[in-house]
A and B are shown apart, each in its own frame.
Chain A
Amino acid sequence: MADDEIILSELSDDELVLQMHDDLYDGLKEEIEEAVNLLIARGWAPYDALTKALVAGMTIVGADFRDGILFVPEVLLAANAMKGGMAILKPLLIATGAPRMGKMVIGTVKGDIHDIGKNLVGMMMEGAGFEVRDLGINNSVEKYLAALEEEKPDILGMSALLTTTMPYMKVVIDTMKEKGMRDDYIVLVGGAPLNEEFSRAIGADAYCRDAAVAVETAKAYVARKHNRPNV
Chain B
Amino acid sequence: MAQDALSKLLSSRDWLMADGATGTNLFNMGLEAGEPPEFWNTDRPENIRALYKAAVDAGSDIFLTNTFGGNSARLKLHSAQGRVRELNRVGAALGREIADAAGRTVVVAGSVGPTGEIFEPMGNLTHALAVEIFHEQAEGLKEGGADVLWVETMSAFEEYAAAAEAAALAGMPWCGTMSFDTAGRTMMGITSAALAAKVETLAHPPIAFGANCGVGASDLMRTVLGFDAAGASRPIIAKGNAGIPKYHEGHIHYDGTPELMAEYAVLARDAGVRIIGGCCGTMPEHLKAMRAALESRPMGPRPTVDDIREKLGAFSSASDGTGDTSGDPKRERRGRRG
Q: Interface on A for B, CB 8 Å cutoff?
A: 1, 4-6, 18-19, 22, 25-26, 28, 31, 60, 64, 68-74, 76-77, 80, 110-116, 119, 137-138, 162-168, 192-195, 197-198, 201
Contacts and interface: CB of A to CB of B under 8 A. Distances in A.
B300 interface: no
B255 to A, nearest CB: 12
A167 B252 CA distance: 10
B189 A138 contact: no
A31 B337 contact: yes
24 contacts: A5-B337, A6-B337, A19-B334, A22-B334, A22-B335, A68-B185, A68-B326, A69-B327, A69-B328, A69-B329, A71-B187, A72-B189, A110-B34, A111-B32, A111-B34, A113-B77, A116-B114, A116-B118, A116-B187, A137-B77, A163-B245, A166-B252, A168-B33, A197-B247
Given A80-B122, A195-B247, A64 B321 contact: no
A156 B135 CA distance: 38
Contacts of B78: 113
B297 interface: no
Contacts of A114: 116
Among all A-B residue pairs, the 10 with the closest Cβ atoms? A71-B189, A111-B33, A68-B183, A111-B34, A76-B122, A163-B252, A193-B245, A164-B33, A198-B247, A165-B33
B331 A25 contact: yes
Given A26-B336, A69-B329, A76-B122, A162 B33 contact: yes
A71 to B, nearest CB: 3
Contacts of A192: 181, 245
Q: Is the interface of B mostly helix, strand, loop or mixed?
A: loop
A73 B33 contact: no
Given A76-B118, A116-B116, A192-B181, 17 more contacts: A4-B335, A22-B331, A22-B334, A68-B185, A69-B330, A72-B188, A76-B122, A77-B121, A113-B74, A116-B155, A138-B77, A162-B23, A162-B33, A166-B247, A167-B250, A192-B245, A198-B247
A74 B189 CA distance: 9
B247 A201 contact: yes
B87 to A, nearest CB: 15
Interface of B: 23, 27, 32-34, 36, 69, 74, 77-78, 114, 116, 118, 121-123, 155, 181-185, 187-189, 245, 247, 250, 252, 317, 321, 326-331, 333-338
A73 to B, nearest CB: 6
A116 B27 CA distance: 22
A115 B114 CA distance: 12
B34 A113 contact: yes
A1 B338 contact: yes
B23 A73 contact: no
Contacts of B122: 72-73, 76-77, 80
A132 to B, nearest CB: 16
B34 A22 contact: no
Contacts of A5: 337-338
A68 B336 contact: no
A73 B190 CA distance: 11
A73 B34 contact: no
B116 A115 contact: yes
A27 B38 CA distance: 39
A60 B182 contact: no
A64 B116 CA distance: 24
A55 B122 CA distance: 19
Contact of A4 (B116, B188, B337): B337
Nearest to B158: A73
Contacts of B185: 68, 71
A76 to B, nearest CB: 4
A22 B333 contact: yes
B12 to A, nearest CB: 38
Contacts of A70: 329
B191 to A, nearest CB: 10
B338 A71 contact: no
Nearest to A162: B33
